């Protein structure tokens, strides 16, 4: 007897979640809530840019606790979400840390520094009684030291733009994702073209991730794109899930196949 396959899924992920970005996200979250039945995965930064600690905003933390209670997932997303390590010494490091992004917090860290920072983030989640299953590095950039540290911690997964990785062994699962660069009009235009093509290419994929950022919410063109894309994928029969819930389905599926 052939076991039924899980229906294709949609994972809606909010990056860079912090007290200072909530004003950007709130109208979008309200619109998603109005659709109904769409859980969100929130990538939470404990002290965004070293100026916005969660501990200083109890109302924001209470809101996140309420989101957990309604079925959303909170994920640790770096600790500071900035890169204040010593200046880059190689052309590759200079490109990645100065041109590609200034926020690759975990790109250069040693195992010990990464472990200390990850444990500090875990403690923030424990303080608020927030379940924690995953870690996503800012800009998806991780040093070898960060990977070593993640193997020592009780986390279930991490990710990059096109995969989820089970921890501690970093086994990869395809999970293609759409993400925009929305800082200027021409970037938003190019992002729309690229995303439309990728969505068409991935129409049969078991899962599509939508990776949103606060800057996307500041422009009607990009914000409307994400709302329309969520509705379009739901209308196409995709089931909305959090990242950890979708990952749990894959384990069940692999056990059945075995």
- pLDDT band, residue 13 (cuts 50/70/90): very high
Cβ-in-10-Å burial (0-12, 13-18, 19+) of 226 comes to: buried
Q: How far is CA 198 from CA 4, 42, 178, 201, 247, in A?
A: 27, 23, 8, 5, 22
- Enter the pTM of the model: 0.91
- Tell me: the pLDDT tens digits for 46-65? 999 888 999 999 999 999 99
Angle at 253 between CA 247 and CA 258, to 5 degrees: 130
> According to the model, what pLDDT value does residue 258 have?
44
Q: How far is CA 249 from CA 6, 39, 207, 241, 243, in A?
A: 8, 16, 11, 10, 10
Domains and CATH numbers, the chain: 9-257 (3.20.20.370)
> According to the model, what pLDDT value does residue 204 have?
95
Task: Look up residue 189 and give its two tokens.
Answer: 């235009």
3 Cβ contact list (under 8 Å, min separation 6):
253, 256, 257
- Tell me: the pLDDT tens digits for 61-100? 999 999 999 999 999 999 998 766 556 545 555 445 554 4
Of all residues in the chain, what percent carry a pLDDT higher than 90? 81
> According to the model, what pLDDT value does residue 97 have?
52
- pLDDT band, residue 127 (cuts 50/70/90): very high
Q: State mean pLDDT over 136-161.
A: 95
Average pLDDT score, the chain? 90
CB atoms within 10 A of CB 122: 17
């Amino acid at each position: 007897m052939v076991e039924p396959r899980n229906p294709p899924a949609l994972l809606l992920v909010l990056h860079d979640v912090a007290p200072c970005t909530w004003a950007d996200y709130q109208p979008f979250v309200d619109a998603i809530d109005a659709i109904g039945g769409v859980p969100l995965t929130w990538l939470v930064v404990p002290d965004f840019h070293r100026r916005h600690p969660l501990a200083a905003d109890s109302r924001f933390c209470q809101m996140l606790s309420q989101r957990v209670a309604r079925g959303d997932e909170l994920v640790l997303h770096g600790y500071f979400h900035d890169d204040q390590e010593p200046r880059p010494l190689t052309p590759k490091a200079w490109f990645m840390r100065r041109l590609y992004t200034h926020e690759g917090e975990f790109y250069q860290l040693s195992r010990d520094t990464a472990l200390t920072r990850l444990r500090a983030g875990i403690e923030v989640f424990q303080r608020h009684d927030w379940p924690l299953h995953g870690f996503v590095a800012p800009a998806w950039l991780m040093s070898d030291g960060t990977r070593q540290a993640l193997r020592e911690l009780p986390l279930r997964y991490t990710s990059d733009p096109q995969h989820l990785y089970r921890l501690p062994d970093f086994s990869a699962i395809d999970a293609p994702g759409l993400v925009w660069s929305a800082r200027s009009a021409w970037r938003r235009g190019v992002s729309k073209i690229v995303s439309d093509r990728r969505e068409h290419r991935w129409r049969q994929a078991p899962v599509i991730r939508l990776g949103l950022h606060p800057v996307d919410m500041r422009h009607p063109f990009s914000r409307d794109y994400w709302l329309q894309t969520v509705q379009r994928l739901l209308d196409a029969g995709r089931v909305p899930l959090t990242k950890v819930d979708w990952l749990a389905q894959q384990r069940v599926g692999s056990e059945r196949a075995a």
